[in-house]
Amino acid sequence: MRTSYCGTLRAADAGREVSVCGWVARRREHGEHLAFLDVRDHTGVVQCVVARADAARPEHVVKVSGTVRLRPEGTANPSLSTGEVELADCKLEVLNAAEPPPFVLDGHAEVDEAVRLKYRYVDLRSARMQRNLRLRASVNSALRRAMERLGFVEIETPLLWTPTPEGAREFVVPSRLQHGSFYALPQSPQIAKQLSMVGGVDRYYQIARCLRDEDLRADRQFEFTQLDLEASFVGETDVRAFVTEAVKEAAEAVTGQRPPEFDQMTWAEAIARYGSDKPDLRFGMEITDVSGVLRASELKALRAASVKAIVHPGGASTGRARLDSLVERAKALGAAGLVWMRVVPGDGPGALEVDSPVGKYLSHGERSGVLAACGAAAGDLVLLVAGEHRRSCEVLGQLRLDLARPAVGTGGLRFAWIVDFPLFDGVDELGRPQAAHHPFTMPNPEDLELLETDPLAVRALSYDLVLNGWELGSGSIRIHRADVQRRVFSALGMGDDEVEARFGFLLGAFRYGAPPHGGFAFGIDRLVALLAGEENIREVIAFPKTQSGADPMTGAPGPLGARQLAELGIKIVG
């Protein structure tokens, strides 16, 4: 039907007889005998010269046959890939007429997302969506290449799995053959892939759809896609090397450049320096501990266990209203308060003074000590939070992002491995430790004895991959011995009966020869969004859902008919 794609024609093609197919992007009419028609396909647009264009309205589907020729002197369009040529002596065939589209696809108007989603099939024609979908495909392709090169074998795991009421809320599917029983759609193929290790697969991977019935966000959809992998007879560094290789291959496929070595720091270091377990390393403003300087301060509030500071370079010009809102923000984040200091020149060369509500309560030595400790200079803004170590760090970590985070798509790609996560993160209302990662995570062997005595201090053999402040994914070495697994379940407050009911088949498998193994999973939607410079994963998903979980195009979710409900043994009560 066609000989060429629209966006590929160049000066070197001059003289060729070609046919292109696509959509009418735009037309420019000059009276009876001359009109220009821009025909668009996924590769771009090409200008076709026709006598009359009445029959070809925007978004009509057309086939144009003609001769490629150089445009007349002075009429080339350098902003177009095909700007040096045009199609002349055209035969125009309308393959399908179209109603005027609900919005224009010229990339200039910012169209409301709800409208775009309702007419997603039109929206997908835009250069932006075409680019994002193809970028995503090349990421998938690169990931597969890397995994195959590393000896991983692609295995499909069930979508209809058994309910495991741990972690994220599950989507469930009623069983027609066993009324009252349900399948669960997998939050991740975690257990299946571990069983594949017991099954001697050695190296498993899958580009897996995961489903979680939790509230949606800019970086979270009900269903999302992970590169999921697991390997036997490996340690932490092996797993990280596999993932690093795959991610680098994907980034290179998109950017043309192999990314530099990934940073690596411990979880404790990430919290202390950036106030986050997913630090954005594209900029500085690291947190400084100034507790020592203020230990004997007249200000009781600053004699806390831990006083932290960040410096906002050039922030001394920040107005009172803005500072007040920062104080409110800090309180909303859980800080007792926020002390700000505008750094101004003092008397004498190089001397500094502070303009701060608490300035007069601090000695000269304390004021200069704080400035020296965090390296502040005249014109900067210093923010102090006092309280418990982790909370103070996290509050300042959030303010750091609020004040200075670079826009998505700028500042390059700063990958970082965060290692040595704690095994448990806090306790629930009954005082039981909560698994930070998942309950199959191997405790650090050095900390095994703390499982029963000080569980919150136990480090895990687990690690996260972070890119520009987004958590891409996480992984761990798994427990492969039933006795250790039982101790962890016990620390989690799960009794033998409960464990048996939920994970009996997994513990059973571990009795039949489970190799040491570990793995990882990371979100492809997030990786692709960051590589595409999008701040929302919906922009890299062909048919995403809104924040309330609806699809404006299909109307999903929708009701079931009485007959279908009866077949499933389901009665709607609310």
Q: Does 427 bind RNA (CB under 7 A)?
A: no
Residue closer to RNA by CB (options 276, 291) is 276
**Region of 176-184, 399-407, 435-443, 526-534 interacting with RNA (CB under 7 A):** 435-443
Residue closer to RNA by CB (options 89, 298) is 89
Q: Does 72 bind RNA (CB under 7 A)?
A: yes
CA angle 174, 176, 179 (to 5 degrees): 75
DSSP 481: S
**Region of 120-128, 164-172, 266-274, 523-531 interacting with RNA (CB under 7 A):** 164-172
Q: Does 406 bind RNA (CB under 7 A)?
A: no
Six token digits for residue 550: 């609806």
Q: Is the peptide bond before 557 cis (omega within 30 degrees of 0)?
A: yes
Residue closer to RNA by CB (options 267, 370) is 267
**Region of 136-144, 237-245, 384-392, 429-437 interacting with RNA (CB under 7 A):** 429-437
Torsions phi, psi for 529 (to 5 deg): -60, -45
The SS3 assignment for 74 reads coil
Cα–Cα dist 463/267, whole Å: 9
What sections of 150-266 are H helices per DSSP? 190-198, 236-255
| Residues ≥6 apart with Cβ < 8 Å to 143 | 207, 227, 246, 249, 250, 524
Residue closer to RNA by CB (options 131, 432) is 432
* Residues binding RNA: number (CB under 7 A): 67
Q: Does 13 bind RNA (CB under 7 A)?
A: no
- 245, 146 contact by CB (below 8 A): yes
Q: Does 500 bind RNA (CB under 7 A)?
A: no
Q: Does 405 bind RNA (CB under 7 A)?
A: no
Q: Does 364 bind RNA (CB under 7 A)?
A: no
Shortest distance in whole angstroms from residue 100 CB to RNA: 4
Cα–Cα dist 322/486, whole Å: 52
| Contacts of the segment 8-12: beta carbons below 8 A, 24+ positions apart | 8/43, 8/44, 8/81, 8/82, 9/46, 9/68, 9/82, 9/85, 9/87, 10/82, 10/84, 10/85, 11/70, 11/84, 11/85
Q: Does 325 bind RNA (CB under 7 A)?
A: no
Residue closer to RNA by CB (options 84, 353) is 84
**Region of 134-142, 210-218, 288-296, 310-318 interacting with RNA (CB under 7 A):** 210-218
Q: Does 30 bind RNA (CB under 7 A)?
A: yes
In Å, how far are 467, 475, 555 from 461, measured between CA atoms? 20, 9, 44
**Region of 177-185, 448-456, 504-512, 541-549 interacting with RNA (CB under 7 A):** 541-549
Shortest distance in whole angstroms from residue 102 CB to RNA: 4
Among 168, 305, 351, 556, binds RNA (CB under 7 A): 168
Q: Does 553 bind RNA (CB under 7 A)?
A: no
Give the residue carrying structure tokens 């991977």: 205
Q: Does 324 bind RNA (CB under 7 A)?
A: no
Q: Does 112 bind RNA (CB under 7 A)?
A: yes
Q: Does 429 bind RNA (CB under 7 A)?
A: no
3-state secondary structure string across 330-383: HHHCCCCCCEEEEEEECCCCCCEEEECCCHHHCCHHHHHHHHHHHCCCCCCEEE
Cα–Cα dist 508/518, whole Å: 18
Greatest C-alpha distance within the chain:
90
Among 43, 81, 244, 546, binds RNA (CB under 7 A): 546
Q: Does 219 bind RNA (CB under 7 A)?
A: yes
Shortest distance in whole angstroms from residue 310 CB to RNA: 19
Among 315, 439, 518, 519, binds RNA (CB under 7 A): 439
Q: Interface with RNA by CB under 7 A: which residues?
A: 26, 28-34, 36, 38, 47, 49, 57-58, 71-72, 74-77, 79-80, 83, 86, 88, 100, 102-104, 106, 108-115, 166-169, 187-188, 190-191, 212, 214-220, 434-439, 536, 538, 546-548, 550, 552
